[in-house]
Structure 1
Amino acid sequence: MAVAHGSRDPRSAAVVNELLGVVRALRPELDVRASFLELSAPRLPDVLRAVRADGHREAVVVPLLLGRAYHARVDVPSAVAEAAVLGLDVAIADVLGPDPRLESAALRRLAEAGVGFGDRSWGVVLAAAGSSHARANAVVRATARRWAAGAGWAGVEPAFAASAAPDAAVAAARLRAAGARRVAVASWFLAPGLLPDRVAGLVGADAVVAAPLGADPEVAELVLHRYAGARVGVAAIA
C-alpha cells in the first residue's frame, strides 16, 4: 500500500497512480494499492479496511514522502494504528528520501527541461515543500551543496514552498546575483500541485521549471526497495 500526501489538484493523484503503474509493471505479482493522507481519495484508513475485507492479513505501507517530517512521523503511524482493530498486521516502510535515486530522477527532469551539466550560465533552484522539522530541510540543503560542488553550474540554491526559508524568489535572486544568466528549478516534489505551482510563480517568468519526479522508473524501484526493506523487518521479527 502506497500512501501519498494528497492534494486538491487532480494532477497530483493522477501522477501518483502513474507511478504505481510503473511499480506494478516491475512487480506484477504484487497487490499494489494507492492511498492518501488527506485531500484525495481513497484515504489510508479506507484502503486498510478494504485490504482486510479482501482477505489479506498482512500489508506494507510505503509512504510516498520525500522526507521524514510530520506526516511520516505522526500521520502515517496514527492511521496505521487504527488497523490493529481490524486484525491486519501492518508494517510501515521508510520514506523515500534521502536516496540517490531521487537525486537521479530530479537531475533527469532537469536535463529533460534543457539544463545541461557543466553549463555555467545556469543557476539551479532546488525546490522542496519545506517543513517545520529541521532535519527534513537539512537533507535538501545538503543535496543542493552536493550539486553545487559537482554539476558545474553557476550555483545551486535550496528553496522551500512553506515552513522554511529561503523561498524560491530569494533563491533565484541569489543565483542571479552570483552571475547566473539563466535560472532553472529542480523539483524535489513527487507530483504537481499547489506547492510546486507556488514555487514556479516565484522564480520569474523567464525561469525554466523542471517537472516533478513523477512516474520515474528509479522512483518506482525505490518504492519497491522500501517495500522489500519493510518485509525483511517483518520476517526478522516473526
Structure 2
Amino acid sequence: MTALLTLSHGSRHPRAAAGIDRLTAAAGERLGVTARAAHLEFSSPSLIDAARDLAAHGHHCAVVVPLLFTDAFHARHDVPAALAAAREASGLELVPARGLGTGGDIADVLAAHTRPAPDKNLVLAHVGSSDAAAEEAVATLADRLAARLGRAVAVRRATGERTGASISGDHHLIPLFVTHALLLDRLHTSGASADPPLGTALAGIVADRYLTA
C-alpha cells in the first residue's frame, strides 16, 4: 500500500510535534496505511528523513499531504522544494496531495469543533500571510463558518504589528491551527476563551486528500 506522509510547517512549541503525530496516526488508521509525519522546519523528522525511513522499511511510494490551510509561500515554494529533495535523497516516489485548504470541509470541521460561547464575540484566529489571496481565502472561510454557526465570525491574525490588539476577554478564539503553536499562545494572553487546535478532527480531511491525490 502507498504510505501517507503529512508535512507540517513545524514549530518550536514543545507540544506541536506530538499533535502532528496524533493527527497523522489517526489519518493512517482511517486509511489502513503506514503513516509518518514530517516537517518543513523547526521540528523533526524532515521530509527527507521520513522518506528515507519509509524506503528503508520497503515502501516505494507515499502520498504527501501538506498540513497547510492557504496557498501561500510555503505551499507554492517550500513544499515543492522539499518534495524534490526528498525524492532525490530517498528514491521514493512522492505524490503531492492538496493541502488542507479553506473550503467547505474545513468550515464543517471548524463548526463541529467550536464550543458554544453565546456571550462572546467569535474570532477565527490564523497565522496570517503577506499574500493577499491567502488573507482573502481565510476571510471567505470565516463567512462560511458564520453561515454554519448562525453568528458573526471576525478574523484576527497571529502575526503583524497589531497582533491580538483588539482581542479581549469578550472574545472566543476559534484557532485555524493544526496543533499548538507559539503564535497561538501569543493570542491566548489576551484573556479570551479559546477552542483547542483542530488536531485529530482533521483526520478525515487528511484521509480525503490522500485518496484524491
What is the TM-score of this pair, normalised by structure 2? 0.88
TM-fit CA distance, 1:55: 2.7
How many residue pairs align between the two structures?
Answer: 208
Aligned residue number for residue 167 of structure 1: 163
Percentage of identical aligned residues: 36
Secondary structure (helix, strand or coil) at the match of 1:10 reads: coil
Rounded Cα–Cα distance in structure 2 between residues aligned with 1:53 and 1:150: 46
How is 1:32-43 mapped onto 2 (pairs within 5 angstroms)? 32-43=35-46
Secondary structure (helix, strand or coil) at the match of 1:225 reads: helix
Q: In 2, are the aligned partners of 1:16 and 1:191 still within 8 Å (CA)?
A: yes
In terms of Rg, which structure is larger?
A: 1
Rounded Cα–Cα distance in structure 2 between residues aligned with 1:221 and 1:189: 16
Secondary structure (helix, strand or coil) at the match of 1:221 reads: helix
Aligned residue number for residue 47 of structure 1: 50
| Structure 1 counterpart of 2:180, one-letter code | P
Change (3 A) 1:75 1:156: same
Aligned residue number for residue 125 of structure 1: 123
Change (3 A) 1:150 1:88: closer
- Quick check: 78-87 or 190-199, which moved more? 78-87
Change (3 A) 1:158 1:16: same
Secondary structure (helix, strand or coil) at the match of 2:58 reads: coil
Ranges in structure 2 where 5+ consecutive residues have no aligned partner: none
| Structure 1 counterpart of 2:159, one-letter code | A
Aligned residue number for residue 68 of structure 1: 71
Q: In 1, are the aligned partners of 2:123 and 2:173 still within 8 Å (CA)?
A: yes
Aligned residue number for residue 135 of structure 2: 137
Change (3 A) 1:90 1:149: closer
Aligned residue number for residue 99 of structure 1: 103
Structure 1 outlier segments of 4+, above 4 Å? none
Rounded Cα–Cα distance in structure 2 between residues aligned with 1:158 and 1:136: 13
* 2:208 is the alignment partner of 1:220: no
Rounded Cα–Cα distance in structure 2 between residues aligned with 1:149 and 1:20: 30
* 2:113 is the alignment partner of 1:109: yes
Secondary structure (helix, strand or coil) at the match of 1:168 reads: coil
Deviations 1:54-112 (A, max 9, x none): 3322221111111112111111110111234343221110101123232223223322x
Change (3 A) 1:169 1:51: same
| Structure 1 counterpart of 2:98, one-letter code | D
* 2:165 is the alignment partner of 1:182: no
Aligned residue number for residue 210 of structure 1: 195
Ranges in structure 1 where 5+ consecutive residues have no aligned partner: 174-180, 231-238
| Structure 2 counterpart of 1:6, one-letter code | G
What is the RMSD computed on CA atoms of the aligned residues? Answer: 2.1
* Structure with greater helix share of residues: 1
Q: In 1, are the aligned partners of 2:124 and 2:156 still within 8 Å (CA)?
A: yes
Change (3 A) 1:105 1:150: closer
Q: In 2, are the aligned partners of 1:125 and 1:168 still within 8 Å (CA)?
A: no
Rounded Cα–Cα distance in structure 1 between residues aligned with 2:148 and 2:60: 47
TM-fit CA distance, 1:144: 2.0
* 2:180 is the alignment partner of 1:192: yes
